[in-house]
Amino acid sequence: MHNNGNSVSYLDYKGKHSGIFAWILSTDHKRIGLLYLMSTLIFFAVGVTLAFFMRLELIAPGRTIMDPQTYNSLFTLHGIIMIFLFVIPALPAVFGNFFLPILIGAKDVAFPRLNLLSWWLLVIGGLLAVISVFLPGGPVDTGWTFYIPYSIRTNTNVMPALIAAFILGFSSILTGLNFVVTIHRLHAPGMGFFRMPLFVWSLYATAWVQILATPIVGITLLLVVFERAFGVGLFDPALGGDPVLYQHLFWIYSHPAVYIMILPAMGVISEIIPVFAHRTIFGYKFIAFSSLAIALFGSMVWAHHMFTVGMSETAQVIFSLLTFLVAIPSAIKVFNWVATLYKGSIQTDAPLLYALGFIFLFSIGGFTGLIQGALSVNMHIHDTSFIVAHFHYVMFGGTGFGIFAALHYWFPKMFGKMYNMRTAKTGFWFLFVGFNTLYFPMFVMGWLGMPRRYFDYLPEFHIYHFISTIGSWILITGLIIMFTNFIKALRSKTTYTKINPWGGETLEWSIQNTPSLENFEVIPTITAGPYEYKDNDEILVKEDN
Amino acid sequence: MSGEQSASAEHNTVDHKPTYGIYILVWLVLMTLTGVTVAVAGINFGNLTVATALTIACIKSYLVLTFFMHLKTETATFKIFVAVAVLFLLISISLLFSDYSFL
Amino acid sequence: MSTIAEHTVEHVHRDDVGSRLGMWLFLFTELVLFGGMFLVYAVYRYTYQAEFHVAAKELNTSLGALNTIILLTSSLTIVLSIVAIRKKNKNLSVFFQIVTIVLAVGFLVNKYFEWNIKIHHGIFPGSEILLGKGNGEVIFFGLYYVMTGLHALHVMIGILLIEVMTGYTIKGRINETNYVRLESAGLYWHLVDLIWIFLFPLFYLIT
């Protein structure tokens, strides 16, 4: 399987198109992965910029730099962009595309052209969302949740935003569909389900959620479009419709969607932890099945977003109970990661730091989630900045740090270049400290009664907002350090040739950096599980020679 | 690509002998069921009216899935997939009604 | 749903089971899409039982039943076209596909008249006559137009899909050894039928 870098790398491969078309019309899963990486990072930059201005506005009470209407649009766009264009596609579509076929020993995904189509849908949906900002009528100001009745009354550009979200959902569905078929049909001989790396398991569970839950939000948003266009009355209370039903349908997708976001990140962490502890993962099957359990239970808890809307008490109790249940598989994973580290020979490189950052921040996010799952407490903190802190701990501290961990972990394999390890670690500490400074005060002020999405606040909240805004500056400094480090590495002339820098046992570490078009010269036959580190010391010595 | 796949691809072309008869038979049953469901719609079973109509619709879908959509001759994977999708819808509707039935 | 990667390195890799698996997964998304609407239907039917009964009287049961028969028959003909191609009977397969298309068009024509009559009577979303009725009836017809409308859209897509397949069959790209495209189109068509199997009793037979 070692081909000593003789094959043409996917970056230099000459296909039938040239120039930029060699990329935007490529059906190579690795090129599509990089296309996704570029597009999602651009949208991430936009989302971060919007958030930066929001935080700046909140540094002092009253108007600071913008008017309230602009602020409403900013948090709406921040939500839509970060959720639909960054957090949902970032892990499955970038790293899933690039590494799923390699991890299971395949040449590509099952439907390469469909794969390209889903990237195009992402771009079209993203552009539509951006264009909606500049159309007459003004940027959408409903919040990313498009709650009825405001979303059918406001005169801002809700329609383009809804259609954009619909298209983006379709893109996500096609990725999921492709992955399920790929995993079932294209795994290398000898690779049964229990020899698949845990990242593959998490992508599998994610893909099912993408396929089954996304159409619900698709039709729901479409119904809102019909409601606005024709006044069909399905949700409009003036015509007898039920706005709470809209919330139900919206969350039937949008709660599972948070598992679309977090599950692949958990998969990445399950890859990184054993490699950097040089130890077999603890409880492989538990981690594998907990992904499926999260996907299942995650589809059954949506109404915990709606405890204050006047649901029946029966429903409240059921959904509260199920919410507590969904914590169990997540906790299983955390315990197994920690148990894997125990007595391992730990190598604290940047990927592991990000993985540990993930565990720490995700645990805080997860536990505060349980606090909100309790009915009585939920009444108190519903729609406060406590919620904002919670989901940023999970979505940014969890998925965001998972994405950064994946970037640092797979960077040498994807680009054949190596970043500066010291700078990467410095970047991590800036991010970690900045993150906590930014979001932790939100827990406190939320508990004290600071509502979310408010443009202005009472003087007693000033100190928390002030600290939080300072935190956003530290965080952005960390992001700049991290990305300049990557860009420097990409621009450097030295090629990184070590094919297995961390001592991983999964298939991607057995092929050349910047893999060839079909990844493998010969499809490997798998004879062992993905994390068998018995002879790891030997391998490390061999690599060093 | 792999041995497993070429084996199943071969399997795919030689699975079962195609015949017209079975499909025409299924179609006749579907027609009859349509007749039945229209005929009994006029009768008022009270709360059971909807249940009757849905039961007949379910039988019809079962026939379409099994025979017309060839689920009968597909591997277990396909059958499990369909079960998962239907289960998801059932979970959604029953949890949704935990709100609406108890107001 | 072709699985042939367009690489210059020729690895024409064909996996019929994989293609069908992909098609089924796609059908699930369609199923859930309509499932979402059935959820909406279920909730409002529960809320406005009496008004749904009254509103459903406006619908023409015979037209609905006729369309059911048309769709079920077209489902039969498309499945027979697959049997025919597998028995190497190309002309018969093309014939069955064309019959399917004709039936599908018949369904749409029927639907057109049905909608036309309703709209002529002033029953359409936002009309004064409809708004003068109870909330439940407004919602019933809102659902009726949205659900049968989206279903009709799927019928149109199905017609296009089968037309393409007919072209492929005539050209020989679909033949007795490679007919997975026709199978996938057939699966799609059966799903359209499946959804109608539920739409029909829920809208036309609840009086």
Chains adjacent to C (≥3 CB pairs closer than 8 angstroms): A, B
Residue type, A284: Y
More confident residue, A410 or A18: A410
| Nearest in space to A533 (alpha carbons), one of A352, A406, A343 | A343
Residue A355: which of A281, A272, A283 has the closest Cα? A272
Question: Do the beta carbons of residue A91 and residue A265 sit within 8 Å?
Answer: yes
Shortest Cα distance, chain A CAs vs residue C138, angstroms:
7
- CA angle, corner C13, sides to C31 and B5, nearest 5? 75
Angstrom distance (rounded) from CA A196 to CA A315: 38
Within-domain flag for B3: no
Among the partner-chain residues B3, B85, B100, the one whose CB lies closest to the CB of A189 is B3
CB atoms within 10 A of CB A132: 23
Secondary structure class of C137 (helix, strand, coil): helix
A183 and chain C in contact, CB less than 8 A: no
Say if CB A425 and CB A485 are below 8 A apart: no
**C98 close to C166: Cβ distance less than 8 angstroms:** yes
CA distance C170 to chain B (A): 21
- Who contacts A10 (Cβ-Cβ below 8 Å, separation ≥6)? A28, A30, A31, A514, A515, A516, A517
Subunits with 3+ C-beta pairs closer than 8 A to B: A, C
Closest chain B residue to A322 measured between Cα atoms? B95
Q: Would you say residue B77 lies in a domain? A: yes
CA contacts within 13 A on the Cβ side of C133: 23
Distance CA A185, CA A175 (A): 15
Closest Cβ–Cβ partner in C11, C32, C139 for A233: C139
Distance from CA of B44 to the nearest CA of A (A): 27
Give a yes or no: residue B90 inside a domain. Answer: yes
Q: Where is average pLDDT lowest: A3-12, A178-187, A212-221, B21-30?
A: A3-12
Is B69 within a domain?
yes
Residues in A touching B101 (Cβ below 8 Å): 312, 314
State if pTM tops 0.90.
yes
Closest Cα to residue C148, out of C103, C69, C204, C75?
C204
In a domain, B1, yes or no: no
- The answer to whether B88 contacts A318, with C-beta atoms less than 8 Å apart, is no
Does a structural domain hold residue B5?
Answer: no
pLDDT score for C58: 87
CB contact at 8 A, A402 and A358: yes
Please name which of C131, C144, C132, C128 lies closest in space to residue C58, comparing C-alpha atoms.
C144
Which pLDDT tens digit goes with each residue over A394-414?
999 999 999 999 999 999 999
- Judged against a pLDDT cut of 90, whether residue A118 lies above it is answered with yes
Provide the CA C183 distance to its chain's centre, in angstroms.
Answer: 16
Q: Looking only at Cα atoms, what is the longest distance across chain C? A: 67
Q: Do A111 and C1 touch (CB under 8 A)?
A: yes
B17, two tokens: 């002998």
3-state secondary structure chain B: CCHHHHHHHHHHHCCCCCCCHHHHHHHHHHHHHHHHHHHHHCCCCCCHHHHHHHHHHHHHHHHHHHHHCCHHHCCHHHHHHHHHHHHHHHHHHHHHHHHHCCC
Alpha-carbon distance A17 to A31, whole Å?
Answer: 13
CB contacts of A218 in chain C (<8 Å) are 33, 36
Distances (CA, A) of B41 to B50, B61, C51: 9, 18, 17
Task: Give the gap in angstroms from C-alpha B53 to the nearest C-alpha of chain C.
Answer: 6
CB pair distance less than 8 Å for C197 and B49 = no
For the record, the structure tokens of A310 come out as 């006047």
Q: What is the largest CA-CA distance in chain A?
A: 76
Tokens 């670690």 locate to: A425
Q: What is the pLDDT of residue A45?
A: 97
**CB C139 within 8 Å of CB A243:** no
Q: Which phi and psi angles does A406 have, rounded to 5°?
A: -65, -40
Chains that touch A (3 or more CB pairs under 8 A): B, C
Token readout for B76 is: 């277990």
Q: What's the pLDDT band for A140 if we cut at 50, 70, 90?
A: very high
Q: Which residues pair with A516 in a beta bridge?
A: A9
C138–A111: do the CB atoms touch at under 8 Å? no
Contact C187, C27 (CB under 8 A): yes
Q: Do A27 and C6 touch (CB under 8 A)?
A: yes
Rounded CA separation B86/B74 (Å):
17
- The confidence score (pLDDT) of residue B102 equals 78
* Interface pTM, i.e. ipTM: 0.92
Which pLDDT band, with edges at 50, 70 and 90, does B68 fall under? very high
For residue A208, the chain C residue with the least C-alpha distance is: C25
Rounded to an integer, what distance in angstroms lies between the CA atom of residue A106 and that of residue A101? Answer: 5
CA distance A75 to A452: 10
List the structure tokens of C41.
Answer: 């239907």
Mean pLDDT, chain A, whole residue set: 93
Evaluate if residue A543 carries a pLDDT over 90.
no
A294's tokens: 């999260």
Counting the structural domains of chain B, the total is 1
HSE of A19 in the Cβ direction (CA atoms, 13 Å)? 1
Alpha-carbon span C200 to B36, nearest angstrom: 13
pLDDT at B46 over 80: no
Q: Would you say residue B2 lies in a domain? A: no
Task: Establish if B75 belongs to a structural domain.
Answer: yes
Query: Of the candidates A299, A194, A321, which has an alpha carbon nearest to the alpha carbon of residue A255?
Result: A299
Dihedral sign for Cα atoms in the order C10, C12, C18, C23: positive
User: Residue B43: is it exposed, middle or buried by C-beta count within 10 angstroms (0-12/13-18/19+)?
Assistant: exposed
- Using one digit for the tens of pLDDT, what is the confidence trace for A491-541? 999 999 999 999 899 999 999 999 999 999 889 999 888 888 765 555 555
What mean pLDDT is predicted for residues A110-135? 95
pLDDT of C206: 80
Residues of chain C with pLDDT under 70: 1-13
**Stretch 46-65 of chain B: residues touching chain C, C-beta under 8 Å:** 49-50, 53-54, 56-57, 60-61, 64-65
Domain of residue B46 covers 10-99
Q: Within 10 Å of residue A262's Cβ, how many Cβ atoms?
A: 26
Rounded to 5°, the CA angle A88-A91-A96 comes to 120
B88 interaction partners in chain A (CB closer than 8 Å): 212-213, 299
**Which residue in C174, C170, C171 sits closest to C182, CA to CA?**
C174
Q: How far apart (Å, rounded) are the C-alpha atoms in residues A364 and A327?
A: 12
Chain C hits for A181, Cβ within 8 Å: 18, 21-22, 25
* CA separation, residue A114 to residues A472, A493, C19 (Å): 39, 35, 12
Tell me the C-alpha to C-alpha distance, in Å, between residue C83 and each of A478, B16, C97, C160, C184: 63, 11, 12, 21, 14
Pair A105, A187: CB distance under 8 Å: yes
pLDDT at A1 over 80: no
Nearest CA distance, C95 vs chain A (angstrom): 31
Q: Say what the pLDDT of residue B13 is.
A: 45
**Mutual orientation of helices A401-415 and A421-448 as an angle, nearest 10°?**
160
Q: Indicate yes or no: CB of C83 within 8 angstroms of CB of B18.
A: yes
3-class secondary-structure state, position A451: strand
Distance from CA of C154 to the nearest CA of A (A): 14
Q: Is C7–A113 a contact, with Cβ atoms under 8 angstroms apart?
A: no
Cβ separation B64–C193 shorter than 8 A: yes
Q: Please count the other Cβ atoms lying within 10 Å of the Cβ belonging to residue C129.
A: 10
Cβ of B65 within 8 Å of Cβ of C43? The answer is: no
On the CB side of A485, CA atoms within 13 Å amount to 23
Angle (deg, nearest 10), helices A68-80 and A158-185: 20
Q: Between the CA of residue B95 and those of A249, B82, B87, C20, what are the distances in Å?
A: 12, 20, 12, 31
Residues of C in contact with A232 (CB under 8 A): 125, 142-143, 145-146
Name chain C contacts of A239, Cβ cutoff 8 Å: 131, 135, 138-139, 142
Under 8 Å CB pairs connecting chains B and C tally to 117
> CA dist C114 to B26, B82, C67, Å?
29, 33, 11
Q: Chain A interface, mutation test: which of C21, C30, C32, most A Cβ atoms within 10 Å?
A: C32
- The chain-wide mean pLDDT, for chain B, equals 84
CA atoms within 13 A on the CB side of A269: 34
CB contact (8 A) between residue A312 and residue B5: no
With 0-12 / 13-18 / 19 or more C-beta atoms within 10 angstroms meaning exposed / middle / buried, residue B32 is exposed
